Amino acid sequence: MKSNIKVALVGNPNTGKSTLFNLLTGLNQKIGNFPGVTVDKKLGLCKLADGQIAEIIDLPGTYSLYPKSADESIVLEILSNKNNPSFPNLIIIVADATNLKRNLLLYTQIADLRIPVIIALNMIDLAEKSHLQIHINHLAKLLNVTIVPLAARKNIGITELKKAILHCPTIALQYPSIAIENIATALIAEISLELKIDNPYIALQIAHQHKSLKYIDKANHPLIEALKAKHHFNSQKAQAQETIARYNYINDVLADTVKYPAIALEENISNKIDHVLTHKVWGLAIFFGILFTIFQSIFSWSSYPMALIENLFVGLANLSHAYLPQGALSNLLVDGVLAGLSGVMVFIPQIALLFAFISVLEDTGYMARVTFMMDKLMRKVGLSGKSVVPLIGGLACAVPSIMSTRTIENWKNRMITIMVTPLVSCSARLPIYTLLISLVVPNKYVGGFINLQGLTLMAMYVLSIVMAIVVAWVMKKIIKSREQGYFIMELPVYRMPRWHNVGITMYESVKTFVTQAGKVIIAISIILWVLASYGPGNTFYNIDKKYQNNKFNNFSVDEINKLKAAEKLENSYAGVLGKSIEPAIKPLGFDWKIGIALITSFAAREVFVGTMATLYSVDGDDTKIEPVRNKMAKARNTQTGQLVFTTATAFSLMIFYAFAMQCMSTMAVVYRETKNIKWPIIQFVYMLVLAYGCSFVVYQVLK
């Protein structure tokens, strides 16, 4: 399919832009009610009538072409440069009909870029409901632009919009809004001349933002600065003058076309909900209540599907053992790959649930209220209210969360948020916590309804968030910055979550987890199985020989096999590797087997459970196939004969995984977002030191 026309979707946050994008393209992407969820440019193809195809680009939501945050700057970057590969033939401005005035500010700026424009007037149903009368035809005439009324959530107006795209003009027909030249006549003329720009508004924008526009040659910066100085150009004053002029124009246009309801409507539902949800006492209580419910549900709702998956894999392993021919290859398949995969696939239900909860919180608009409530607290520790979203998102995965910090305007706040987000326990730690908790914490109920295991899990999460806040506070003292942060944020009205959207989020998260983690896990499982099944030189031969000795005559065949397997593992390549780091991790209560897991899960935490499953399968006796949990519960130290997973070791291990940076993807994204190798290195080191120190203390105290 080749597209005939490029269309850019532009609009304020919370105007339903992403919903419209999904309706037009059928491509799925994350949609949220929180300002700024759409951080990356999203592409999709839209089939029009006549078999024509339009390429749709979803640009980040923004209130104006003067960006407040890193992701907003992409809008002007694309729209002011004809040579940009994403430069559109047509711009669709998605405007909220219930808030036309503020939405038209962006329209007037875009209109002056002289690219053909259509206005998609969304939420027209809500405007009608609140008795707001918009004379669409008259408005369209005054602006000389096509306006398509829409109710994207109800799928109304999409066909008309597609028709409008098909019949869009090839040149900009909309009337210019304000007299741009009046803002800085001489400067605009000189920049236009020097840089060969034929549009006065783009020339003005270059005067304002040339340093952040990537297509402006660096060599031109001194020239532009000199011109600005020559004409006494004050960027902020010019911007204020422009904004006031634009609103005057908008007021004139709206005076004839929009009638507001005569009497102020009764307090809307959103406000009533906020009375409770952002209440001094109840607001915070409800927030923590919601978090508590989420963790309880993750444990209780997922137990049945988890048991199902566990049994499925046990069945599969039984079948493979029964039908596959004996040999190294089938051993590799069953003890290596299958064992590794089963250990991780079990956690699909929990991960799907966690992502579903976070998606609902974002989609309903509740996340924006959490931001509102937590801002003051967050500021005390060097973060911003907006850091709450990445931190809560960190419960799912640090990678998209670190990308979402782009909405934080203040550099220092953003850096600290990036540095501490990986401390928040992500879904990859969930399998480790659940496994270890189920080993050492009894499955009992306290006070009738509080599950002890669920409580422990929640404690791990609370601890991780507390640690993130403590580290943020320390960094606030260390990092120096004079830049002033601000917090001007729209509070969107509450909406019902779009269940279709929640479903997509669950599906996508599981898909990513299975494909991304699955690949790594299969690869590492295979390597690990090889390392655990073979040893250096002729050690394995010697072990075999040793057990042929007469002194083992009193032992049964089973017992000999078991002893042999244990000794082989200990002397295998994996065993040697684990043993080599044992002195370093012994103070934390870890033996060499856990050492192997630490090494293999260095790049990704998900591998831990798989490693455990593989190690204990190689070690275990072949006649009984059991879930990894049971094998670990019975594991004993070969020298002391004591249980390996005591309460002290299990908790020390959980703390280590909670604080250590064992995720290549996170380090890669931190490097990409900070553009300085210094930050991921600092992060790796401080997290390792923190993890080692805390594990040491926990083990020594609980021992």
Partner 1 sequence: MKLSQLKIGQKGIIKEFTDLAMSVKLMEMGCLPGEEIKLDRIAPMGCPIAVSVAGYQLSLRKKEAATIELI
From the centroid of its chain, how far is CA 27? 19
Stretch that binds partner 1, among 83-91, 94-102, 193-201, 516-524 (CB under 8 A): 94-102
Stretch that binds partner 1, among 52-60, 266-274, 307-315, 389-397 (CB under 8 A): 266-274
Closest CA to 350 of 455, 462, 459, 506: 506
State the angle between helix axes of 430-440 and 607-619 in degrees (0 to 180), rounded to the nearest 10.
50
Contacts with partner 1: how many residues (CB under 8 A)?
Answer: 39
Task: Compare residues 68 and 564 and give the one whose CB is closer to partner 1.
Answer: 68
Beta strands in 124-243 (DSSP E): 133-134, 146-149
Closest CA to 568 of 546, 601, 551, 596: 546
- Rounded to whole angstroms, the Cα distance separating 58 from 43 reads 6
Q: How many CB atoms lie within 10 A of CB 91?
A: 25
Binding to partner 1, residues 367-406 (CB under 8 A) = 372-373, 375-377, 385
CB of 280 to partner 1, least distance (A): 5
* Interaction between residue 278 and partner 1 (CB under 8 A): yes
DSSP assigned state of 13? T
Stretch that binds partner 1, among 63-71, 153-161, 188-196, 314-322 (CB under 8 A): 63-71
Task: Compare residues 103 and 456 and give the one whose CB is closer to partner 1.
Answer: 103
* Residues 563-581: b if buried by 16+ CB within 10 A, e if exposed: bbbbbbbbbbbbbbbbbeb
CB of 368 to partner 1, least distance (A): 8
In the three-class reduction of DSSP (H, G, I as helix; E, B as strand; rest coil), residue 665 is classed as helix
Identify the bridge partners of residue 5 per DSSP, sorted by sequence position. Answer: 54
* Interaction between residue 657 and partner 1 (CB under 8 A): no
* Interaction between residue 105 and partner 1 (CB under 8 A): yes
Task: Compare residues 274 and 591 and give the one whose CB is closer to partner 1.
Answer: 274
* Interaction between residue 489 and partner 1 (CB under 8 A): yes
Enclosing H/E stretch for 149 = strand 146-149
CB of 101 to partner 1, least distance (A): 6
Sign of the Cα pseudo-torsion (409, 413, 419, 422, in order) = negative
Residue among 3, 84, 192, 239 that touches partner 1 (CB under 8 A)? 239
DSSP assigned state of 216? S
* Interaction between residue 66 and partner 1 (CB under 8 A): yes
- Rounded to whole angstroms, the Cα distance separating 636 from 593 reads 11
Residue among 41, 68, 321, 562 that touches partner 1 (CB under 8 A)? 68
Enclosing H/E stretch for 5 = strand 5-11
CB of 72 to partner 1, least distance (A): 11
- Rounded to whole angstroms, the Cα distance separating 413 from 378 reads 10
CB of 63 to partner 1, least distance (A): 5
Task: Compare residues 67 and 88 and give the one whose CB is closer to partner 1.
Answer: 67
Residue among 82, 138, 237, 545 that touches partner 1 (CB under 8 A)? 237
* Interaction between residue 659 and partner 1 (CB under 8 A): no
CB of 57 to partner 1, least distance (A): 23
Pairing of strands 146-149, 133-134: unpaired
CB of 208 to partner 1, least distance (A): 11
Residue 651 in tokens: 């908790």
Task: Compare residues 102 and 163 and give the one whose CB is closer to partner 1.
Answer: 102
Binding site residues, partner 1, CB under 8 A: 63-64, 66, 68, 98-99, 101-102, 105, 236-237, 239-240, 243-244, 247, 270-271, 274-275, 278-281, 283-284, 372-373, 375-377, 385, 486-491, 493
